Amino acid sequence: MALIVQKYGGTSVGTIDRIKSVAKRVERTRDEGHDVVVVLSAMSGETNRLLALAHDICAKPSARELDVLVTTGEQVTIALLSMALQSDGYEARSYTGAQVRILTDDSFGKARIQGIDAERIGTDLSKGRIVVVAGFQGVDGEGNITTLGRGGSDTSAVALAAALKADECQIYTDVDGVYTTDPRVVGSARRLDRITFEEMLEMASQGSKVLQIRSVEFAGKYNVPLRVLSSFEDGPGTLITVDEEEPMEQPVISGIAFNRDEAKITVRGVPDIPGAAYKILGPVGHANIEVDMIVQNVGADNTTDFTFTVHKNEMEKATEVLKNVAAELGAREVQSDASVAKVSMVGVGMRSHAGVAAKMFEILANEVINIQMISTSEIKISVVIEEKYLELAVRALHSGFELEKEPFESK
């Protein structure tokens, strides 16, 4: 008997009929002799509806109260699924994140998991029950309800799978696996049979919305077998593994990720002195704002332009923080730009293939797309471009690197 953790996203539980359909899928897994723990998101659109209600009340609602509010969405779905399972004759029991004791830090809105008390779930499983857990949420050391950030139900599922030493964590969503890029942008995008944790981590961090980045980190750290599947059709999905097991050489590029939620901030005319970068990024970090790409250019006048990207939602906050910093440093000005996007190519095959960056830049040049920033790692190349060229860039790169073809398809 295997222990399977199944996570279902908002679209999968978006209606009563879909919740009943999820119940049937869970029941099939149970009938195959497996223990099952189910992690659910709120119904699609429900979190946004709750956030809109909060902002109708006040312009800047308390982060603590926002977490109390939005976690009610998952409480609805876990109760309804448990009822559906019970009505079909299966013993099921639902729990919120606080009841399971998914312990987090106190960073409301984007808390990090610090530990999980799996004893209660283990007791229920030993009694033959199906356990249904609210994703996306936990509780801090003071007993406050917390949330893990958008897509946090994936993280909840993988963390539970790690704590329970599950045999597999299955992420059910509205797509049937991980694709070479978003099929809504490139119609010829191809589903990957498998991808490494390392590649999936880069894809998630660079904008791929299939899995939340922290869920991939958890899966890789604790070696949790992870599979992305469709809630609406049967199929093998995409297996995310520690190592590439195929005997043949890994393709150079596995996929293209992109992110429309980037904003670029530039501090111009910063004196070129030791510690200037810390004086800029230190206050940004203290404000709990995550920085992505960083570029620094030193001019002939012994000043530097310091440019970095943040999430678009945090651009205004970061800009306000930096106005005082710029004045203290004697910098000329702080500029912000929300009309940018990031495109990233990912593949472990880059390690053994030269010329990938040059080919990428050539393809973008042929489309007359200007590159504003560049960042690289062993298995990733990212560029920041104008947002209006995003889809053109993704289609051109996908075609230029022939990602629509099977990896070892003869040319």
Whether residue 389 has pLDDT greater than 80? yes
Distance CA 70, CA 78 (A): 14
CB atoms within 10 A of CB 122: 15
Model pLDDT, residue 411 = 38
Q: Calculate mean pLDDT across residues 278-306.
A: 88
Q: In the chain, how many domains are there? A: 1
pLDDT (0 to 100) of residue 211? 81
Q: Find, among 181, 203, 237, 231, the residue nearest to 395 by Cα.
A: 181
Digit-coded pLDDT (tens) for 176-215: 899 999 998 999 999 999 899 889 888 887 767 778 788 8
Is 287 a member of any domain?
Answer: no
User: How many Cβ atoms are within 10 Å of 115's Cβ, its own excluded?
Assistant: 12
**Residue 153 lies in domain:** 3-174
For the chain, helix, strand, coil in percent to 5 are: 35, 25, 35
Let me know if residue 368 belongs to a domain: no
In this structure, is residue 378 part of a structural domain? no
Q: How far apart are CA 161 and CA 118, in angstroms?
A: 10
Mean pLDDT of 135-158: 93
In a domain, 353, yes or no: no
Q: Average pLDDT in the 362-375 region?
A: 96
The verdict on residue 14 lying in a domain is yes
- The answer to whether the CB of 37 falls within 8 A of the CB of 121 is yes
| Residue 48, in any domain of the structure | yes
For the beta carbon of residue 237, count every other beta carbon within 10 angstroms: 23
Q: Which CATH number is 127's domain given?
A: 3.40.1160.10
Flag whether 58 is in a domain: yes
Predicted pLDDT of residue 289: 93
Query: Quick one: pLDDT at residue 18?
Result: 96
pLDDT at residue 179, as a whole number:
92
Instruction: Tell me if 401 is assigned to some domain.
Output: no
- Enumerate residues 6+ apart whose C-beta is below 8 A from 184: none
What 8-state DSSP symbol labels residue 63?
H
pTM of the model: 0.78
Angstrom distance (rounded) from CA 113 to CA 104:
4
Answer whether 338's CB lies under 8 Å from 351's CB: no
Q: What is the pLDDT of residue 148?
A: 93
